[in-house]
Every structure is written in structure tokens, then in C-alpha cells.
Amino acid sequence: MNEKGVLVVLSGPSGAGKGTICKALLEKEDFWLSVSATTRSPRNGEIDGKNYFFLTKDKFEEEIANNRFLEYAEVYGNYYGTPKEHVMEVIDSGRDVILEIDIQGALKVKENYPGGVFIFILPPSMEELRNRIIGRGSETPESLMIRFKSAYHEINYVSKYNYAVVNDTVENAVKKIQSIVAAEKCRVDRIKEEILDSKEGLIHEQLYD
């Protein structure tokens, strides 16, 4: 069977650990990590096409108008987005793509590409989530509480996702994501046409030779 790749969208509240999991997953699996486009200036050492695709504001808005993003957002006057074309090319070539993104972004990707595999990363407990937010430091008690409440409410969005993975240990979470991707490649919704096609191709030679 000529299998397409799968778009794996890793998302979840801030502090759940999706970045760490994404990094660990890339060490184990030959996923292609989606590169974002942005209008902000490159920082020291950032490479165009690797860290980001750096676009002018005009170019970015042209791409928006042409519907060439899986999702985009404006943050403090700069655009950030996921270019659709690159992702689709890699998927069509049979390689899996991973996209690590916040919840608002993931929901927009789902609208544009519902065939993606949407995985919500959960903290092992709300207590652990609080410890992780505290652990990042440089937070006043007030801003900590705002971040924590925000993460708490974001967990309600889990119902929009296909899968939820508890980040109890990075190793466990990575194994579960590997299982999810392997299982998705066996989903009948995804491969039905290929199964029935490959069967049809064989009927005459097998039944009537």
C-alpha cells in the first residue's frame, strides 16, 4: 500500500510539557518537524527555513489572502503561522509530520485539516502543573495564578482532540504517541480505499487463472 504520512498535532496547556515530549519524540522517530513562518526579525543564530521561515509583513498577508496557512495568529504585532504547502508535500511523500502548537492554533489546524491526529498533552495532575509553572521562575504570585487558571480552563478543550496523553514521564508519553501513530495507520477510515483497490486488482488473475 502506498501510504500517506500522518500529521501529528501535539498540543495542550502551557506547562503540560509538550515541547519536551516533542523533542524526545523526534529523537526516536523520523518525523518532519513543521517549521513556522513569522514576520518577526531573526534573532542571533536563527536560520531561515530551519528555525522559522522569515517573511515580510506584505508577503505574509499575501499568503493569508491565498489561504496558504494551516493556521496563523498575530502576537504583539507580529504574524506567526504554519505554511500549508510544506506540510502537505511531506505528508504526500509518506513521511509523518509533527506540529507542536498551542490550543487555539491546533483548533484552527483541525478546521483546515481534519485528517490530522490531534493529541492533547495533559499534566499528570493539577498540582504537578502548578509546580511546573512555578519551576519556570520569574513569575509573581499574581501572574502565576493567572497562568495556572488559564491552563486549568484550557483542559476543557481536550474534548476537541482525538487523543489525550498524560505526561507522567516523558518516556511513557512518547511510547503512547508512537502507539497512536502506529494505530492511526491501521484505521479503516484512513486506508479503506487502498485495501479495496488492492483487492480489486487481484481478482481476475486469482479467481480465473
Where do contacts with a second copy occur on this chain (CB under 8 A)?
1, 119-120, 122, 125-127, 130, 145, 148-149, 152, 155-156, 158-159, 161-166, 175-176, 178-180, 182-184, 186-188, 191-192, 195-196, 198-199, 202-203, 206-207
Q: What is the nearest approach in angstroms of a second copy to the Cβ of residue 190?
A: 9
| φ, ψ at 187 (rounded to 5°) | -70, 130
Angle, CA 203 vertex, CA 200 and CA 204 arms, to 5°: 125
Q: Which residues of 21-32 are buried (b: 16+ CB within 10 A; e: fewer)?
A: bbebbeeeeebb
Structure-derived torsion over alpha carbons of residues 153, 158, 159, 163, reported in degrees to the nearest 10:
-170
Compute and round to an integer the Cα radius of gyration of the chain. Answer: 20
Binding residues: 12-19
Nearer to a second copy, 53 or 157 (CB): 157
3-state class (DSSP) for residue 128: helix
Q: What is the nearest approach in angstroms of a second copy to the Cβ of residue 165?
A: 6
Nearer to a second copy, 2 or 206 (CB): 206
The cell for 196 is 479495496
Nearer to a second copy, 78 or 179 (CB): 179
Nearer to a second copy, 64 or 145 (CB): 145
Q: What is the nearest approach in angstroms of a second copy to the Cβ of residue 173?
A: 10
Q: How far apart are CA 198 and CA 147, in angstroms?
A: 52
Binding residues for ATP: 12-19
Q: What is the nearest approach in angstroms of a second copy to the Cβ of residue 8?
A: 12
